[in-house]
C-alpha cells in the first residue's frame, strides 16, 4: 500500500473533477495535500466536505499568473515545510472550441496559458523544493493529444504540449525529479463538480459498451494511477505517457 506520510503534494485544479479525486486519493494515503484552484466556492466546499484541515489546504491560485503561482509555492512551503509532489491538473476544455478561421487570439492564448503555461510556471517555482526531496511530477494531459474532433485545435495543442513538456522536463531533471504524464479519455466527472454544477451521470449503455473495457472512466481510475506515479514503487518510471481511456485509442472504428 502506498503511504505518503510526511509527504506534501500540490494538486492544481484540485477542487473539482479529476483533480478533486486525486486530492482525495492522496489524503487517503496519508499525504498532506495542497489544492491550488482559482474557484473559491469549489475550494470551500471541498474543505467542508473533507473536514481534514491538518493535512488539507486550499490556496486560491491562478496558474496563468506567475505571481499567483509564486504565492502558492511559498504558502505550501510555509505550511508543510517542503514539496514532495506536484500534479498539474488545472485546465479548461471548451472555452476556445471554434473553427480555426474564427478563433480569437485571446481564446487561443487563454487556453494555452491555462493548460500549458500554467504547468510550466508551477514546475518552474516548485522544482527547487521537489529536487531536494527527489520528488515527482504528474501532468494531466488528454487523449486529445493523440486524436481530435473538429474545432478543438487550441485544446489539442495545449494537451499535446503537456506530453512534450513532460519528456523534456524528465531529461532536464534527470536524477532529481521524476516527471510523467497521464492522458485520460472519457472520464465522467459529473458527480465531482461543485454543488451548483453537479448533476447525475447521464450515460447510456452504448456509452459504456463503446469502450473495450466495458465502461466509461471514473475519476478514481486516474487518481489511482497518479498516486502510483507519485509514489516510491514508480521510482524507475520517468518521461513516460500513460493513456487511460478504456482502450478507445486502440479501437478501430468502421462506418457501415
Active site residues: 155
Q: Which three cell numbers stand for residue 77?
A: 512551503
Cell numbers 471548451 correspond to 94
Q: CA 53 to CA 23: how far, in whole Å? A: 13
CA angle 160, 34, 60 (to 5 degrees): 80
As a whole number of Å, the CA-based R_g of the chain is 18
Q: CA 149 to CA 248: how far, in whole Å? A: 14
Three-state DSSP class for residue 183: strand
Whole-angstrom CA distances from 56 to 31, 34, 83 are 9, 6, 14
Q: Which three cell numbers stand for residue 20?
A: 478533486
Q: What is the DSSP string of 69-95?
A: HHHHHHHHHHHHS---EEEE-----ST
Q: Which three cell numbers stand for residue 227?
A: 498516486
Amino acid at each position: 500500500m502506498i503511504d505518503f506520510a510526511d509527504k506534501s503534494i500540490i494538486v492544481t485544479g484540485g477542487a473539482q473533477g479529476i483533480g478533486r479525486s486525486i486530492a482525495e486519493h492522496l489524503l487517503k494515503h496519508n499525504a498532506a495535500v495542497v489544492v491550488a484552484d482559482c474557484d473559491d466556492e469549489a475550494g470551500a466546499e471541498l474543505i467542508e466536505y473533507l473536514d481534514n484541515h491538518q493535512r488539507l489546504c486550499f490556496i486560491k491560485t491562478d496558474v496563468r499568473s506567475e505571481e499567483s503561482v509564486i504565492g502558492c509555492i511559498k504558502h505550501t512551503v510555509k505550511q508543510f515545510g517542503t514539496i514532495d509532489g506536484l500534479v498539474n491538473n488545472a485546465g479548461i476544455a471548451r472555452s476556445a472550441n471554434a473553427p480555426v478561421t474564427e478563433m480569437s487570439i485571446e481564446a487561443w492564448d487563454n487556453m494555452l496559458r491555462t493548460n500549458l503555461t500554467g504547468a510550466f510556471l508551477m514546475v518552474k517555482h516548485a522544482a527547487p523544493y521537489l529536487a531536494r526531496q527527489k520528488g515527482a511530477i504528474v501532468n494531466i494531459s488528454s487523449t486529445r493529444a493523440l486524436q481530435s474532433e473538429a474545432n478543438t485545435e487550441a485544446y489539442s495543442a495545449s494537451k499535446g504540449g503537456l506530453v512534450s513538456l513532460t519528456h523534456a522536463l524528465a531529461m532536464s531533471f534527470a536524477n532529481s525529479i521524476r516527471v510523467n504524464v497521464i492522458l485520460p479519455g472519457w472520464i465522467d466527472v459529473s458527480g465531482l463538480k461543485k454543488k451548483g454544477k453537479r448533476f447525475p451521470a447521464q450515460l447510456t449503455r452504448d456509452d459504456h459498451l463503446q469502450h473495450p473495457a466495458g465502461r466509461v472512466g471514473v475519476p478514481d481510475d486516474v487518481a489511482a494511477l497518479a498516486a502510483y506515479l507519485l509514489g516510491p514503487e514508480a521510482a524507475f518510471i520517468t518521461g513516460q505517457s500513460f493513456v487511460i481511456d478504456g482502450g478507445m485509442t486502440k479501437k478501430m472504428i468502421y462506418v457501415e
